[in-house]
Structure 1
Amino acid sequence: MFKKILVPVDLSHLDALQPGLTAAADLARHYGAEVCYFGVTATTPGTLARTPQEYHGLLEAFANEQAQVHGQTTSAHSTASPDPVADVDDAIVDAIAAVNADLVVMATHLPKHLDAVVPSHGTKVASSTDVSVFLVRQ
């Protein structure tokens, strides 16, 4: 049913993403799908990487590590933005098309009152694409 699963990751907060990473790996195993890890980085030097190319190398290393751990095909796709926090939702939607994903698996937080004013990333992504979006609670 699914051939390519897009998994947005923040390499600075991998511990918080574990439920989503596990769910994506389990779904990929079940469907024989590839997992594409996606990240958005700044165009300026940051604490994780000095350049978008360096960030992509870190993301590729993470994808390769996940391939070894779970025994499945993985890939990495990244994009750079002047404001990753503001652009992450649109970047995820663009990445879905760029990698031809048919499922997105995202870790998410429990709903809060602020979500009425600032919706979650999962809500925005799900309402902006025609592929399935699986939100995994932390």
Structure 2
Amino acid sequence: MFKSILVPIDLTNTDLAKPAVATAVLLSQTSNGTIRLLNVLHMTPVMLTEYVPADFDMLQRQSSQEALAIVAREVGIEPSRISSVVRQGNSVYHEILEESQAVDADLIVMASHRPAMKTYFLGSNAGYVVRYASCSVLVVRH
């Protein structure tokens, strides 16, 4: 049913992402689909650049790529059916939507916290993705 599944992962809270990854694996197995793991790094604010090493962004990206590779290995599906990418931007939901179009995803599976009062006023990344994605979105609650 789903040939290309995008799974955004917050590497600062991998426990929250585990149910979403497991769900994506299950859905991909029914149709022999592929999974694309995504981590979005925030841009380093200009006012902080003088306080961090010159190669900070590169080291942060490398660390994220290594962590995603570990997640991909632990998933338990063939390596040819899973890939990962690290994107960097100011808006997490924008990068998720861009990546979904880049890989022609037909499903985005993402984890989300239970709504809090602040998300009702400010919104959440999952909320934005649900509203603006051009493909189906499955939000998995922890």
* Alignment match, 1:61: 69
Q: Matches of 1:7 and 1:120 in 2, distance apart?
A: 16
- Residue type of the alignment partner of 1:57: Q
Deviations 1:95-125 (A, max 9, x none): 1011111100001111222222111211101
The alpha-carbon distance between structure 1 residues 42 and 50, as it changes in their structure 2 partners (threshold 3 A), is: farther
Q: Secondary structure at the match of 2:84?
A: strand
Cα pair 1:63 1:76 within 8 Å, conserved: no
Q: Matches of 2:106 and 2:74 in 1, distance apart?
A: 20
Deviation at 1:43?
A: 4.8
Q: Matches of 1:59 and 1:94 in 2, distance apart?
A: 22
**Matched positions, count:** 130
Q: Secondary structure at the match of 2:115?
A: coil
Gaps of 5+ in 2: 45-55
* Alignment match, 2:11: 11
The CA RMSD measured in Å over matched residues stands at: 2.1
* Alignment match, 1:133: 137
- Residue type of the alignment partner of 1:76: S
Q: Matches of 2:85 and 2:112 in 1, distance apart?
A: 20
Identity of aligned residues (%): 27
Matches for 1:1-138 after TM superposition, within 5 Å = 1-44=1-44, 45=56, 50-52=59-61, 54-55=62-63, 57-62=65-70, 64-67=72-75, 69-71=76-78, 73-81=81-89, 83=90, 87-138=91-142
Q: TM-score, normalised by structure 1?
A: 0.82
Runs of 4+ in 1 over 6 A off after TM superposition: none
The alpha-carbon distance between structure 1 residues 97 and 55, as it changes in their structure 2 partners (threshold 3 A), is: farther
Gaps of 5+ in 1: none
Q: TM-score, normalised by structure 2?
A: 0.80
- Residue type of the alignment partner of 2:65: G
Deviation at 1:70?
A: 3.5
Q: Which has the larger radius of gyration?
A: 2
Q: Matches of 2:36 and 2:116 in 1, distance apart?
A: 29
* Alignment match, 2:51: none
